[in-house]
Structure 1
């Protein structure tokens, strides 16, 4: 009985601080754009970051729950490409392949700020900058004769800074895990392609393709919380 009361007390204290923290944020929303670069990891490129980099850009929206937590939605587009020529991989019968795709990424993430993020509320030890981490879920669509549509899981890190009131700039790096192995196959080949280059079919945890985004974003705060300190 004593243990259950203690657990209830801890939950109550945690909830109280959470509610107070939610109400301490000045602005609820952010919206803006992002520009950057993208690259692919898969059978044509196992380990080299930023090999054949492409262009990426799009729009994002962020809902600030409190100083430490935010929820973000993004609509991004970019290009990725790959080429097995000169790669360390040796494929059966010395086969080679190359590809190029344009992709669209629609997704949502939850972010955790390591520092309480705000350019005000110094009495709460808030800072106008913070590193953060994020993860979530999304959908990737890519062009080509072999159209690609699949779920992705983003895992990333970032840093954001308030340039001035209501204006934010940030940089983030993320890896997007896919659950198919034919992101690097724009045209299906009956004899050989990069979906199963060694004749071994992939599974949900084996031989899946990835792509990465490195983005600089600029956002504008809006949706002020009325009397944010005391409501």
Structure 2
């Protein structure tokens, strides 16, 4: 048993000694959302900024562990859709996204040999969101507490409790990184976040009875569950829909996407074998 264990450790040594480099850095770019307020898969009119901190550790030539924290904004509105029904619904939202994530990168090439590599990554994240909208005077209105689709109301037990603002998502995506100097690696990546909620935008299923919503949550809830009675010039105002009329689609969950440029700084570790952008240039005598 000792001999077997010793043999396994001997074989494992190159894996855990080669390029055990730590990298710390930043990512900055854009965030997008996909959900019930998008007629298209993603509406780039509502692209918003994102920033983040990242930590990576090279386990071997092809495997890198990663973690970090990110912040972004997502938004959407019916006003820019082409469908008359969606424009008449007249809903809108915005929400901050705070995310902590852990995962791994699979490098396609040996970056220390080639100086660059495309990669794929996946992991798990814990994120928070907080959907709000604006009234006609520009005042911010928090949507979750209004129970716009009957969440938490005893008359609609099938809707369950109000949706949680802290949830799990599955980040995955692709990227490209390039050794710029011995210490700095530059890159670009895009990562999709598959969530398990349909309420990033506070829209998912059907309208509930107007009088019930009024009695339980007040006039503000009625006003922001249906905004098709507001005169905007883009549609003919219409009354609050019937109980059970389609408001959103529960068929698909909501997604958010982070895309950014990465700047990573290498600290400690290493065996001195890493080549750089400049060390590969021929020497001029």
TM-score by length of 1: 0.76
Answer yes or no: is the 8 Å Cα contact 1:62–1:73 preserved in 2: yes
Q: 1: CA distance between counterparts of 2:193 and 2:74? A: 13
What is the RMSD computed on CA atoms of the aligned residues?
3.0
Deviations for 1:82-115, whole angstroms, at most 9, x for unmatched residues?
Answer: 0012324565893220011111111111110000
Q: Report the equivalent of 2:283.
A: none
Deviation (angstroms), 1:81: 0.6
Deviation (angstroms), 1:140: 1.3
1:166 matched to 2:180? The reply is no
Q: Which structure has the greater CA radius of gyration?
A: 2
Answer yes or no: is the 8 Å Cα contact 2:18–2:271 preserved in 1: no
Secondary structure in structure 2 of the residue aligned to 1:164: coil
Higher helix residue share: 2
Alpha carbons of structure 1 residues 112 and 89: separation in structure 2 relative to 1, 3 Å: farther
Alpha carbons of structure 1 residues 200 and 226: separation in structure 2 relative to 1, 3 Å: closer
Q: Report the equivalent of 1:87.
A: 81
Q: How does 1:111-122 map to 2 (within 5 A)?
A: 111-118=105-112
1:31 matched to 2:24? The reply is yes
From 260, 267, 284, the equivalent of 1:222 is: 267
Answer yes or no: is the 8 Å Cα contact 2:184–2:264 preserved in 1: yes
What 5-or-longer segments of structure 2 have no aligned partner?
1-6, 132-141, 145-163, 204-219, 227-243, 275-285
Deviation (angstroms), 1:200: 7.2
Answer yes or no: is the 8 Å Cα contact 2:69–2:99 preserved in 1: yes
Q: 2: CA distance between counterparts of 1:49 and 1:82? A: 8
Secondary structure in structure 2 of the residue aligned to 1:185: coil
Alignment length (residue pairs)? 202
Higher strand residue share: 1
Alpha carbons of structure 1 residues 170 and 40: separation in structure 2 relative to 1, 3 Å: same
Deviation (angstroms), 1:34: 1.0
